[in-house]
Amino acid sequence: MDELELLKKDWNKGTDEYKNYSDSDIYPMLHKKSSSIVKTLFYISVAELVFWVLVSYVPYAFSDKMRARLETSYENPLFTGLTILGFAVIGLFVYLLYKSHKSISSTDNAKKLMESILRTRKVIKYYVLYNLIMIFISIPLSLYFEFNQNIEFHDQVAAFDSTQMTVLVFVTIIVTGVFLGIIWLFYRLLYGILLKRLNRNYNELKKLEV
């Protein structure tokens, strides 16, 4: 438990010793805690970028079959465009979190700190929303690419009757929904806990501003 949480606990107990703390005493604690949270978020985003680079590079480097399939996929402008967009968004996300961390670390004004926290919250919410949308789009697109590039799969699907096509569509919807749920839970755990702490700091700063 950090210094600020201990202080809150003692306030709730009604200890007179801690009622003498002024806003100027509390602000540095909130500042330090907020900076630490955003720094952690930045490190997580960097780790995620490295993870996706490795996921993209390792199959290409060590599997001839995967290399051939990827090279075929990259001949499709849509696949190439989505891949570039994905890495560009993650790179932008890393940059914005780094900028937020620098902004929070350097400010000595409660109002500016609150604004930086709000910006950080928005960046993360938009990033998670973007990833969920991309997953929603990418699974049907993956089937589309597989249909066009895998002759065996293409022939199987082309031979489907209406019932089999309905089942394929239904299974695709279910898989997409399950995958979206898993990713949403992952981001909720990964970023949600830190965002809740950041929100608490924001609410404490609002009290100082009153």
pLDDT in tens, 143-181: 877 777 777 777 887 888 888 888 888 888 888 888 889
* The residue type at 62: F
pLDDT computed for residue 23 by the predictor: 56
Question: pLDDT, tens digit, for every residue of 26-37?
Answer: 777 888 888 888
Question: pLDDT, tens digit, for every residue of 55-94?
Answer: 777 766 676 776 777 677 777 777 788 888 888 888 899 9
Higher pLDDT, 68 or 123: 123
Buried b (16+ CB within 10 A) or exposed e, 47-72: ebeeeeeeeeeeebeeeeeeeebbee
Q: What is the mean pLDDT of residues 115-120?
A: 86
> Which pTM value belongs to this model?
0.72
Percent of the chain with pLDDT over 90: 1
